[in-house]
Structure 1
C-alpha cells in the first residue's frame, strides 16, 4: 500500500521531467523553416549558401555578397500530429481492461473488463505559441502559423574583403493544443516550444578567389511551455483498485485504530485510486532570454562547376527558469492524505522522509541546464551542365550528449521526496531523468535547373535519421525517422532583386508495439516513469507542411 503512494508521486515527478525533455526533443525537427531557398533544396546548401542566411548554413558564404543587401522571409507552417491507440489481445492491467481510452463500454457499468474494444485517435486542434512579454501560451485559430517578415541585412564596404551581416530566424518554433477530452492529453494537452535567434552578428572573409571563411554569433531566446494530464496504468495502481473495490468496500469512509493499523489508512478516502484514472494535471513554463551560440564555416570554390563547404554549429548552453504547478485529482489527494492521516501510515512515510499530506496544488520554481547539441554539416555542389546543378550534404548532430536531463527545484515536495527513491542521482530538490539518445548522421540532396535566365526550378530530399532509441519513443515526440520533400522556384526580378518561393513537407510515421517503449507503453510493476498508455499498441504520424516566400534585394 505504501508502494501505491510512492508510485503515484514518483510518476508525477517523472512527468514533470519528461515534460521539460519535450522542449529539447523538438530540436530533432531543426532546420525546417530558416530560409526559403535552403528549404526548397533539401537543406543541402553548405557548398551553395543561400544569400544572407549563409549566417546559419555556412557563414563563409557571406563573402560572396557585395554592397548593401536585405532579405525578408515570410513563412507559413502547418502541423498535423495524429496518434492511434489500440488494445492487443489479452490486454489488461492487474486484471482490469476497462480503459476508457480503448474501451467502448459505458463508464461505471459495474464490470471491470472491456466487452467492446475500439481504436482511439488523437489529433491537434491548432497551434500554440509562447509569448515572452506575457509569459504565457496563446492558442491560435485553426490554420497555419504565419511568421514574417523575418529580416536579414549584410554590407560589404567597397574594396573590402569583409562582409558583415545579421539575421532574425527560427531554429525551432512549434506548438499545438488539443481538445480537453482528447485521449492524447496524457502526452500534452498544450505545448509550445521555441528557439528564436533575434540577433546574429556575422562576418565572412574572402581569403582569395577560391577560398572564403566566416563566423557568426547567434543570440537566441529559448522557451518551453506545457499543460498535461497524468495517469499511470501500472500494476501497483491496479492493486490499489482491487483494495478499493474489494477489500475496502465494506469500510468506505471509516477510520478507527484497527483499520489504520492493518490497512495503513488506505480505506479512508471516499474515492480510491485506479490504473485508468486521471491522477493530476501539470502546468509548466520555462524560458531563457539570452542563449548564445556560434557557427564557423569554410567555402572552397576552385571551379565555377564545383564547390565544397563545411560548417560547425556549436552547442548552445541554456539555463532555463520558470514556474510549475501540479494539480492533484480528488482521488490522489484522498489516498495520499488518507495514508498520511493514519498512525501507521504517517510513521511509514516519516521513515521514508516523505510528507504525510499533499494539498490540492503544489507550486514552485524550477530551473534546468540544457545544452542544445552541436552539429556539423559538409557538402559539395556540382554543375554537370550550364543549367543543371546538384548538391549533396552530410549532416551530423550530437544528440548523444542527451544522456539525461537534470532539474533543480526551489523547494522539497512530496513528489520529489518519492522520486529520489526511484531515480539514481536525484535528491529531495533535484531530479535526474534518463534519455539515452544517440547521435545521428544523414544525407541531404538538392537540385536546381535554370529554366531561363530569370527562372530557376528547385527540388530537395532529406531522409532524416532518428536520435530517439526505439525503447524511448512516444506520441509526445512523434518525429523519429522522417522523410523531407521540397520544391521551389527562384525568379530574378531585376539585376538587384530576387524572389524565392518554396514548399516543403516533413513526414514521419512510427509504430510502438505494446511494452516496447518505456517512454509510452511499458508494462510491469517498475515502469511507472512515464507510461500513460501501458500495454497499448500505438501508431503515430506527424506531417509538417511549410510554405515560404523570400524577397532579396540590394540597395
Structure 2
C-alpha cells in the first residue's frame, strides 16, 4: 500500500531518465550537417566546411578567407507502437484490461472472453520543448521537426590559423499523441534537445600534412515529459480482490469492529484496479549553459589518403526544473480509508505512510546529468580518381548512464516511504539504476565526382543499441538501428556550393511479455514502471531527414 503513494512520482523520474537516454542515441548527429548525413557520418577524415567544428576541428584549416554556412534540416518521426496479448495473460487473476479486452460492461467476469488481436498506440505528431515558454509545444499531425543551423569561419591571409563558430543541434527529438492513445502510459509528450548556440573554435596547420584543432561548445539542454500513469501490478490486483471480494459484504454496513479488523480499507468510494489510470504527470528539466570541448587531428600524407581523429568531451550538468502530478481518486481513497480506522492509522504511523494523498502535487526537481563523451576516428581513400570512400569507427560512453540520481528541494513523503524498499533512496533523493553499455559503431560513405561541379554521395551507419535487453520500452522506440544516406553536392562557382541530402533511419524492436523491467515485466516487484505488464510489445520507428546547405566564400 505504501507503494501506491510512491508510484506516480517515482514513475515520473524513471520516465524522464529513460527518455533522455533513448533520444540521445536515437537523435545523435542526425541534425548537425547535411553532407555528413549523406555519408553515414563517416567524415572524421573528411569533415564538411564549418561543421568541422563538431566532426573534427582540425579540418577548419581547409577553409580560405571568410566562409559562411547556412543549413536547414527537417526530420519526420514515424513511430508505431503495438501491443498484443500472450497466452495465459493475467494480473493477479484479472485479465479484463479494457486496453486489450473487447468485453463490454454487460460481461461481469474478471477473465476476458474476447481479446483484441493487436492494439495500436502510434505516435501522432512531433513535439518540441520551447525554452522561453518553458513548455512543450505540439507541432501538429504530419509536421516535421526543424533544425536550422549556421556557421562562420575566417582564415586570415597568409595565416596558418583558422577561427570559427557555429550554431547547430547535436540532438533534437520529440513526439506526442492525443488523449486516449494507449501509448500515453509511457509518454504522451516527450521532448529532448541539446542546442549548441556558440562554439568558438581554432584550427592550426602544423605543416602541409598535419593540422590540429580544438574548440569549446556552449549548449542548452532540456528534457520535457507529459505522461499518463497506470500500474498493472500483482499487489494492486490483490487490493482489487480485497475491495471486490472481502469488502463487498461490509460496504454498506461496516462498523467499528470491521474497521479495526480490515484497517479501514473497505471505507473507500472507489477501489484500486491494476488497469485503471492513476493520474498524469508533467515534468521539465533544463540548463541554459552546458559547456564541452572538442579536439581534433587531421593527417593527410598523400592527396588520395587522409586520417582524422576527434574527441568530444563529456558535459556534466545540473539540470533543474519542476514537476506536477494529478492523482486519480482511487489512491486518494485508499489512504483516506486507512485514516478512517484506528488500526489503519497505527499501521500508517509505523510504516510512515502519508496521512492523505492530494489531488495534485507540484515541486522542484534537479539531477546531475552527463552528456556522454565520444571518440571517433576514420580514414578517407580515393580508390579511383573520381571515387572516394570514407570509413569511421566511433565510441560513445553511454555507460556513464549507469545510474541517474534525482534530488528535491524538500523532503518528499513518497521518498520517506520508498527508502524502506531500496538503499538508493533517502528522504530527498532517488537513484535510478539503468546499466547502459558503451558500444562501438562504424559508418561508411562513398563520394563520386561525376563532374568538376557535381558530386554524388551515399552512406550507411548501423547503430548498435546501448540499451540493455531488459530495459527496452516504448518510450525508447529503438534497439539497433540502421541509417541510410544519399545526397548531391553542386558547385555553382568558385565561391558557392550547395548540398542536398536525404537520410532514413529505421529500427524495429520486439519486447516479449515479461522481458523488460521498464515496460512489461509481471510480478509484485514491477510496480515502478511496467504499464504494459504481461503484454507483448513491438515498435517500428522510421525517421526521414531532409537537409539543404548553402556555403559561400567571401
Q: Which has the larger displacement, 412-421 or 157-166? A: 412-421
**1:74–1:146: 8 Å Cα contact kept in structure 2?**
no
**1:400–1:438: 8 Å Cα contact kept in structure 2?**
yes
- Residue 395 (str. 1) matches residue 394 (str. 2): yes
Aligned to 2:382: 383
Q: 2:32 aligns with which of 30, 34, 41?
A: 34
- Residue 25 (str. 1) matches residue 40 (str. 2): no
Q: Do the aligned partners of residues 48 and 144 (structure 1) sit closer, same or farther apart at CA in structure 2, a change above 3 Å counting?
A: farther
Q: Do the aligned partners of residues 275 and 200 (structure 1) sit closer, same or farther apart at CA in structure 2, a change above 3 Å counting?
A: same
Q: Can you list the C-alpha shifts for 1:362-399, whole angstroms capped at 9, x where unaligned?
A: 11000011001111000000101110000000010111
- Residue 323 (str. 1) matches residue 327 (str. 2): no
Stretches of structure 1 that go unaligned for 5 or more consecutive residues are none
Aligned to 2:466: 467
Alignment TM-score, normalising by the size of structure 2: 0.97
Q: Matched residues in 2 for 1:86 and 1:353: separation?
A: 39
The alpha carbon displacement at 1:256 in A equals 3.5
Q: Matched residues in 2 for 1:179 and 1:551: separation?
A: 37
Aligned to 1:257: 256
Q: Can you list the C-alpha shifts for 1:283-328, whole angstroms capped at 9, x where unaligned?
A: 1111110101111100000001000001011011111111101111
Q: Matched residues in 1 for 2:534 and 2:363: separation?
A: 33
Aligned to 2:10: 14
Over the aligned positions, Cα root-mean-square deviation in angstroms equals: 1.3
**2:147–2:168: 8 Å Cα contact kept in structure 1?**
no
Q: How does 1:112-511 map to 2 (within 5 A)?
A: 112-118=110-116, 119-147=118-146, 149-252=148-251, 256-511=255-510
**2:379–2:392: 8 Å Cα contact kept in structure 1?**
yes
Name the SS of the counterpart of 2:15 in structure 1.
helix
Aligned to 1:90: 88
Aligned to 1:69: 67
Q: Matched residues in 2 for 1:413 and 1:361: separation?
A: 14
The alpha carbon displacement at 1:109 in A equals 3.4
The alpha carbon displacement at 1:423 in A equals 2.8
Name the SS of the counterpart of 2:419 in structure 1.
helix
Q: Which has the larger displacement, 351-360 or 476-485? A: 351-360
Name the SS of the counterpart of 1:168 in structure 2.
strand
- Residue 59 (str. 1) matches residue 45 (str. 2): no
Q: Matched residues in 1 for 2:108 and 2:366: separation?
A: 45
Q: Matched residues in 2 for 1:164 and 1:262: separation?
A: 78
Q: Do the aligned partners of residues 107 and 368 (structure 1) sit closer, same or farther apart at CA in structure 2, a change above 3 Å counting?
A: farther
- Number of residue pairs matched? 551
- Residue 537 (str. 1) matches residue 536 (str. 2): yes
The alpha carbon displacement at 1:420 in A equals 1.8
Stretches of structure 2 that go unaligned for 5 or more consecutive residues are none
Q: Matched residues in 2 for 1:255 and 1:368: separation?
A: 47
The alpha carbon displacement at 1:250 in A equals 2.2
The alpha carbon displacement at 1:151 in A equals 1.1
Q: Matched residues in 1 for 2:548 and 2:236: separation?
A: 53
Stretches of 4+ moved more than 6 A in 1?
A: none
Q: Matched residues in 1 for 2:150 and 2:402: separation?
A: 36
Aligned to 1:100: 98
The alpha carbon displacement at 1:419 in A equals 2.2
Name the SS of the counterpart of 1:449 in structure 2.
strand
Q: Can you list the C-alpha shifts for 1:86-131, whole angstroms capped at 9, x where unaligned?
A: 1100111111011122111114731211111111011112111111
